[in-house]
Amino acid sequence: MCGLIGTIGFKDNSKLNINTISHRGPDSSGQWNSMDNEFPVTLGHARLAILDLSDAGNQPLIVDKDRYVFVFNGEIYNFVELRSEFESLGHVFETRTDTEVFLRGLILEGPSFQLRCNGMWSFCLWDRKEKTALFGRDRFGKKPLFYSLIGNDKLVFASEMKGIFPFLSSIQFNDNINIFLQKLFDYESSEECAIKGIKRLPQGHYAIFKNEKLETHRWWNTLDNLEDVSYDYDQQVERWRELFLDSVKIRMR
């Protein structure tokens, strides 16, 4: 796993501490800060190196004449096919990572590119030109992403809630904590968290933060993507076997 942390709209970043997520990525860590004459943004990343073990795979990843800054936690299993497609269109990659492939797809196709990806992820993509942040989370929420709106016009996010704690005036339990304890299986599918003032981006959602406002959108609903299943038992078994073996094979990359 890797770790993300960042702030948007904070001129003073003294409360941001990348060490709160360092255990998520022991191989390297990096932090990008906007210039003094820009809208204030800081993105941090702790890396667990899996693909392209060189320093080229370190994050934040910055591309297109420094316009886009990207932090990513996850794995895109079908990145090989996606990369080949983009290369056939003339795009040149500087790393061997799935991170760069995922970033290129988001730049070219926007949040809908997630529908083409097989994997698990959470991310933040900052567009310095448009002053817009795009956040996303995979279909089933395998990778975490927590955030808090501070003063209604600033945002802080992290892979773990404790990365956000320094920005809160106090650490208190959510008023609905007792409801969560009674319905534990509903907790992870909720945007609410155990700590008051912190929310999670729900699974299968993306969010856009622009002009000091956050808008959340759903990009995936399992019920809208169910596969037609044969009534024949042997065909069901064969289809399950095919899907299972393909899942194992593609993850071995």
Catalytically annotated residues = 2
Residues 6+ apart with CB under 8 A from 114: 121, 136, 138, 206, 219, 220
Half-sphere exposure of 129 (CA within 13 A, CB side): 7
Q: How many CB atoms lie within 10 A of CB 168?
A: 17
Q: Which amino acid is at 228?
A: D
- Long-range contacts, stretch 89-95, CB < 8 angstroms, 24+ apart: 94/56, 94/63, 95/52, 95/54, 95/56, 95/57, 95/61
Q: Which residue has the tokens 């083409």?
A: 116
Rounded to whole angstroms, how far apart are CA atoms 123 and 73?
6
Q: Which two tokens stand for residue 168?
A: 């809160």
Residues 6+ apart with CB under 8 A from 63: 70, 94, 100, 103, 104, 107
Nearest to 108 by CA among 123, 94, 87, 122: 87
Rounded to whole angstroms, how far apart are CA atoms 54 and 56?
5
Strands of the 119-127 sheet, one edge to the other: 61-63, 68-76, 119-127, 132-137, 205-210, 213-218
